[in-house]
Amino acid sequence: MEFANAGAIDRSVRVLLGAVLLGLGWGGVVEGIPGLVMKYGGFVALFTGVAGFCPLYLPFGITTRRKPS
């Protein structure tokens, strides 16, 4: 059974967004609560991008993967 539900473009955007958010949060560009939110959000985006799986897609039956032809 295949659990991946994120397609290539979705995954790429998540990894890029995660890296940017982590860089802003950990780099000290954004501090305080917004910086903390960026750190956690960046980690989640990066993790889901690398894993290719988004748990929020499950209840809605969403997938951004291409169907095999």
Q: What tens digit of pLDDT does each residue of 15-66 get?
A: 999 999 999 999 999 999 999 999 999 999 999 999 999 999 999 999 999 8
Q: Exposed, middle or buried by CB within 10 Å (0-12, 13-18, 19+), for 13?
A: middle
Q: How many domains does the chain have?
A: 1
Q: Is residue 60 part of a domain?
A: no
More confident call, 2 vs 16? 16
Q: Is residue 23 part of a domain?
A: yes
Q: Is residue 64 part of a domain?
A: no
Identify the band that residue 68 occupies on the pLDDT scale cut at 50, 70 and 90.
confident
Which domain range does residue 19 map to?
8-55
Q: Is residue 61 part of a domain?
A: no
Name every residue whose Cβ is closer than 8 Å to that of residue 10 and which is 6 or more positions away in sequence: 49, 54, 64
The span from the CA of 43 to the CA of 38, in Å, is 8
Q: Is residue 12 part of a domain?
A: yes
Q: Is residue 20 part of a domain?
A: yes
Q: Is residue 68 part of a domain?
A: no
The span from the CA of 6 to the CA of 52, in Å, is 5
Identify the band that residue 3 occupies on the pLDDT scale cut at 50, 70 and 90.
confident
